[in-house]
A and B are shown apart, each in its own frame.
Chain A
Amino acid sequence: MTARDALTAFTPLPPARNGIADYAALLLGALTAHYDCAAACEDWLAEAPPGVAVLDPALAHRRIAPGGRVLHQLGNNPQHGFVLQALRRHPGVTTLHDPGLLHLHEAAGEGVERILAGMAGATPALAPFARHLRDHGLCTRANHLLFDLAGEVLARSRAVVVHSRFALGRLRALHGEARTGHVAVVPHPLPAAAMPERAAARARLGIAEEDVLVVTAGFATAAKRLDWVIEALERALAAGAALRWVHAGAERPEEFPLSARIAGREALRPCARVTGWLPQAALDEHIAAADALLCLRFPSFGESSGALARGLAAGTCCLVSDTGAYAELPREAVLHIPLAGAVPALAAALAALARERALARRIGAAGREFAAREMALPAVAAAYREVIEASRERPVVAPPPAGAAPLLVLEAGPALRPAEVEAALAPHAGPCRLLLAVPDLAALAALTLDRPGLVPALLPPWAALRRLRVQAPPAQPGLLLELDLPWRG
């Protein structure tokens, strides 16, 4: 490798209100030590770090030489729709910030067929959820937990980066060893710039030294368990702890109506505040000023947290759910809150921290020491470089070329079960014909009368039915289905 090989990253960048945009800016700034970096971003006027050109993603392919180095930053929100499309054209290294990608697929208009195709690799026991989506357009929160839709990303990437062993393990469990052999764990980096000094940050925010400031940060999603935070804070306040709570981030009321919930709590209302979205510098001030930064998560898909990295860098005492990636943090570096009994445990922890401020400082210092050792930005950039270089020759799985649709024949008697149809279709991808054969047309009529909704019931939900016709003698009689089957990589 020469000193300045080109690297093109497809990613949102600041000022997008997206933690991954901040992460990408941080990472690309560090990767300029190794590469001539450019960022393909939907916002052509985005703020890239010095030395990194911003490109129009629709034209970025003109910069990418065959086999060129490409990095995708993929998260589970619609701001990453163009990244998902780009990784289909330009295989490279993909950072999977959130292995659950169903919200991205839904919000970026990927269409039900693609979503069903992404569900195809799941265990057959989950097929009813996919059927509900196909037949009734039903998609519940359970779908987001059960289907990660990461199969396509795994197949189309030369390497995949996740931030925790938990995320890696989850991918392995859902997609198998063979499809995840190219997944590497690279920790979330610390911010490049020094975090604000605590006393100065508190002074600027008007936080008195005697106040115990509790901060939560980022989008107020349901998974951040602000409902638990509310309950725990109320208990701690009732126990006499003098706490102030600031949620430093935007609300997402469709997921969790944070302000409305706070407004309904008399004891909490006077000492709680929601700032709305904050620019990075203001967010850093709140995190640095905090006595306790709460990073709860349930359910967890193995996500990493930029706010947690900043909390560790600032030496703020961080309280995390004892789950997912957070469970991998050293016990002395953060306070782990168990999932079972989270509310009383959190209330007790907050009351203890309010009583003994030195305890919070000791934990914060240990967290900072750990982070400086394991999460330093140059080390993270070097790890990325290693992954990028090692994966360059790795072929990606390509969708099968379009060809003649194979013809499969199954005897369509009363005993034919969906599992048999699914097993017959499983080895195939792309256009496929399936003849549900019958002895004669009278038998077909009887069968369809006997089993209303025969075809949708028999077909797995991810098999898209393009055309159906009755095939009459002298050809073999039956129902001839023209299908489009998903490519599973």
Chain B
Amino acid sequence: MAGLNAAPLLAALLRHALPGLAVLDAALAEGGLYPWLAGARCGAAAPAALPGPERALLRRFRQGGRPLFGFDPATDAALAAGAPEAWGGAAARLVVLGAAADPAPWLAGGTLVLARAAPEGGWARIILLAGAPAPFERLDLLLTEEERLPALLAALEAAARALGAECGTRRVSPRLATLTLLAGAVEARAALEGEALIADAAAEGRLRLLLGCLPPRPLGLRVILAPGGPLPALFLDGAPHPAEAAGEGVLEARLPPGGVRPAVLGLAGATTPRVRRVEIGP
């Protein structure tokens, strides 16, 4: 599944609507919200469903020194059980799921679920139709307590308006609502640093960074490195990729439209590159 065109818009929407929300983006390999939702913990909810080489690739990465979700059974179980410590004590939790994952266990633990093509179940649902600006993409926000739906819908609508998006809502039933939003003006720029970076220090002099499933449109990339020393060579999805120096310790490149797999940035030099920040944007 390709990266979401509307991922930056949806990430901004959730950030505004649900401040303090703890997010687990478990759809990293299938077009989740990474890298647009800062602070999200990332991984794959159903790694066994991934092709072997992709699974092996994701297994290499660390976020904040920890394996990605899906590759660390003890921590995975704590997150799935909604253990407060695992979620950093956050009051509100959201998990982003891919097509192969079952939302039921998450919902049972009181976690909101955002999923593409979510199956039918006994859950309340807000269908999000987002165009940024086109084509429209559908995601379903699932929750177990239907009494929370009106407030959640109102918060989302208010956030959409605050973002300058055109939007419309409809309550189809107590358990089903829709929110349509159209925004061409959300100039989202993802900024990854610290624990938001998903990295694999492959070997001395080589570093891989996971960029997530990027939207199907060209974007700009800016890599800010610790100053000193020559700039590393840049690779995209394993192959050399043209990049330009843009000041001391800064590399800039154009990213082609995202594909169906998470983009991987590679940096290679005489010593392992020290990345301070990665920015992705228009």
Known: A44-B233, A44-B235, A56-B266. A62 touches B240 (CB 8 A): no
Answer whether residue B60 sits at the interface, using C-beta atoms and an 8 A cutoff.
yes
- Residues from chain A with a CB closer than 8 A to the CB of B203 are 42
- Residues from chain B with a CB closer than 8 A to the CB of A40 are 238
Decide if A89 touches B206 in the complex (CB within 8 Å): no
Decide if B266 touches A44 in the complex (CB within 8 Å): yes
- Residues from chain B with a CB closer than 8 A to the CB of A60 are 238
Residue-wise interface mask of B (198-213) relative to A, using a CB-CB cutoff of 8 A (1 in contact, 0 not)? 0010110110100000
Among A55, A61, A62, max chain B CB count under 10 A is at A62
Minimal Cβ-Cβ distance residue in B for A59: B238
Answer whether residue B189 sits at the interface, using C-beta atoms and an 8 A cutoff.
no
Contacting B at CB under 8 A, from A37-93, are 38, 40, 42, 44-45, 53-63, 89
Known: A44-B266, A44-B268, A89-B53. A58 touches B233 (CB 8 A): no
- Residues from chain A with a CB closer than 8 A to the CB of B268 are 44-45
Answer whether residue B57 sits at the interface, using C-beta atoms and an 8 A cutoff.
yes
Among A40, A58, A89, max chain B CB count under 10 A is at A58
Decide if A58 touches B237 in the complex (CB within 8 Å): no
A42 to B268, CA, bound (A): 11
**Number of residues of chain A lying within 8 A (CB) of chain B:** 17
A433 to B261, CA, bound (A): 40
Answer whether residue B91 sits at the interface, using C-beta atoms and an 8 A cutoff.
no
Minimal Cβ-Cβ distance residue in A for B205: A45
Minimal Cβ-Cβ distance residue in A for B203: A42
- CB A90 to nearest CB in B, in angstroms, measures 8
Decide if A56 touches B53 in the complex (CB within 8 Å): no
- Residues from chain A with a CB closer than 8 A to the CB of B121 are none
- Residues from chain A with a CB closer than 8 A to the CB of B54 are 61
Minimal Cβ-Cβ distance residue in A for B266: A56
Minimal Cβ-Cβ distance residue in A for B270: A45
- Residues from chain B with a CB closer than 8 A to the CB of A61 are 51, 53-54
Known: A45-B268, A62-B261. A56 touches B238 (CB 8 A): yes
Q: How many A-B residue pairs have CB under 8 A?
A: 51
Decide if A62 touches B52 in the complex (CB within 8 Å): no
Decide if A58 touches B52 in the complex (CB within 8 Å): no
- Residues from chain A with a CB closer than 8 A to the CB of B57 are 58-59
Answer whether residue B239 sits at the interface, using C-beta atoms and an 8 A cutoff.
yes
A63 to B259, CA, bound (A): 13
- Residues from chain B with a CB closer than 8 A to the CB of A89 are 52-53, 56
Among B56, B206, B238, B264, max chain A CB count under 10 A is at B238
A63 to B237, CA, bound (A): 10
Decide if B238 touches A55 in the complex (CB within 8 Å): yes
Decide if B239 touches A53 in the complex (CB within 8 Å): yes
Contact of B240 among A42, A53, A59 (CB under 8 A): A53
Minimal Cβ-Cβ distance residue in A for B236: A59
- CB B170 to nearest CB in A, in angstroms, measures 41
Decide if B233 touches A62 in the complex (CB within 8 Å): no
Contact of B208 among A42, A53, A58, A62 (CB under 8 A): A58
- Residues from chain B with a CB closer than 8 A to the CB of A45 are 205, 233, 268
A89 to B54, CA, bound (A): 11
- Residues from chain A with a CB closer than 8 A to the CB of B233 are 44-45
- Residues from chain B with a CB closer than 8 A to the CB of A55 are 238-239
Decide if A59 touches B206 in the complex (CB within 8 Å): no
Minimal Cβ-Cβ distance residue in A for B53: A61
Contact of B237 among A44, A54, A62 (CB under 8 A): A62
Known: A59-B264, A89-B53. A54 touches B202 (CB 8 A): no
Decide if A56 touches B52 in the complex (CB within 8 Å): no
Decide if B261 touches A56 in the complex (CB within 8 Å): no
Decide if A56 touches B60 in the complex (CB within 8 Å): no
A53 to B240, CA, bound (A): 8
Known: A89-B52, A89-B53. A59 touches B237 (CB 8 A): yes
- Residues from chain A with a CB closer than 8 A to the CB of B56 are 58, 89
Contacting A at CB under 8 A, from B32-56, are 51-54, 56
- CB A174 to nearest CB in B, in angstroms, measures 30
B residues with CB within 8 A of A: 51-54, 56-57, 60, 200, 202-203, 205-206, 208, 233, 235, 237-240, 261, 264, 266, 268
- Name 13 A/B residue pairs within 8 A (Cβ), A-sorted: A40-B238, A44-B206, A54-B240, A55-B238, A56-B238, A56-B239, A57-B238, A58-B200, A58-B238, A59-B57, A59-B239, A62-B261, A89-B52
Considering the complex of A and B, which 9 residue pairs feature the smallest CB-CB distances, nearest first? A59-B238, A61-B53, A56-B238, A44-B268, A55-B238, A45-B268, A58-B57, A89-B53, A56-B266
A residues with CB within 8 A of B: 38, 40, 42, 44-45, 53-63, 89
Q: A53-B239, A89-B56 are in contact. List 8 more A-B contacts (CB 8 A).
A: A42-B203, A56-B202, A56-B238, A56-B239, A56-B266, A58-B56, A59-B264, A62-B261
